């Protein structure tokens, strides 16, 4: 048998072993590394299912409500640790297990359609959607006063903590986690 014929017979077996080896070894290595990821998240004070919110300027209320519903269904929690959480970002405050930094500024204003006034019925509807995503004390304030403001009303994280929102563990964790 010549060398070319021998190579032609051996090549498929070698290729199969190479493909198997290149798939199995990385998977085995990944299994060694992945269990450490939850431990690393817990080591800095956040559960592995915690979403870190850095600076979030808000956005569409309906889209945010849907995102929050999906996060709740997945058992996710939120840590708001950036310098700003405005508009629809504030809706995270009503999620179970949410914690905040006392240094974060939270901004509230009336619901609108990209700055344009809503009809009275839509104004009431979206005000209620927003308020449903707040803890009780904040919900009462928003429905009484916050939802009527054209300008951004800023409330510090420290004030919200006084109203009963949970504070994230430590300032050093807050600084490490500001990513979203």
pLDDT in tens, 81-123: 989 999 999 999 999 889 999 999 999 999 988 888 999 999 9
Positions of E strands within 36-142: 50-53, 77-80, 84-86, 99-100, 105-108
**Does the pLDDT of residue 41 top 70, yes or no?**
no
Q: How many residues does the chain have?
A: 180
pLDDT exceeds 50 at position 65: yes
Angle between helical axes of 120-131 and 61-73 (0-180°, round to 10): 30
The 10s digit of each residue's pLDDT in 2-13 is 444 443 444 444
Task: Judge whether residue 143 has pLDDT over 80.
Answer: yes
CA angle 83, 56, 163 (to 5 degrees): 60
- pTM, entire model: 0.67
pLDDT, residue 170, reads 54
Burial (CB count <10 Å: 0-12, 13-18, 19+), residue 174: buried
């Amino acid at each position: 048998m010549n060398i070319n014929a021998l190579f032609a017979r051996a090549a498929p077996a070698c290729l199969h072993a190479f493909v198997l080896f290149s798939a199995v070894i990385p998977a085995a290595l990944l299994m060694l590394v992945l269990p450490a990821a939850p431990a690393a998240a817990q080591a800095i004070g956040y559960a592995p299912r915690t979403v870190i919110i850095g600076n979030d300027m808000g956005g569409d209320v309906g889209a945010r409500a849907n995102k929050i519903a999906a996060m709740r269904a997945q058992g996710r929690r939120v840590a708001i640790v950036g310098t700003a959480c405005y508009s629809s970002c504030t809706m995270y405050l009503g999620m179970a297990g949410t914690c905040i930094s006392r240094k974060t500024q939270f901004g509230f204003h009336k619901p609108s359609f990209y700055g344009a006034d809503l009809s009275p019925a839509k104004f009431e509807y979206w005000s209620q959607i927003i308020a449903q995503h707040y803890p009780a004390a904040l919900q009462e304030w928003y429905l009484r006063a916050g939802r009527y403001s054209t300008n951004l009303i800023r409330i510090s994280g420290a004030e919200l903590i006084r109203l009963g929102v949970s504070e994230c563990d430590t300032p050093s964790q807050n600084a490490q986690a500001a990513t979203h």
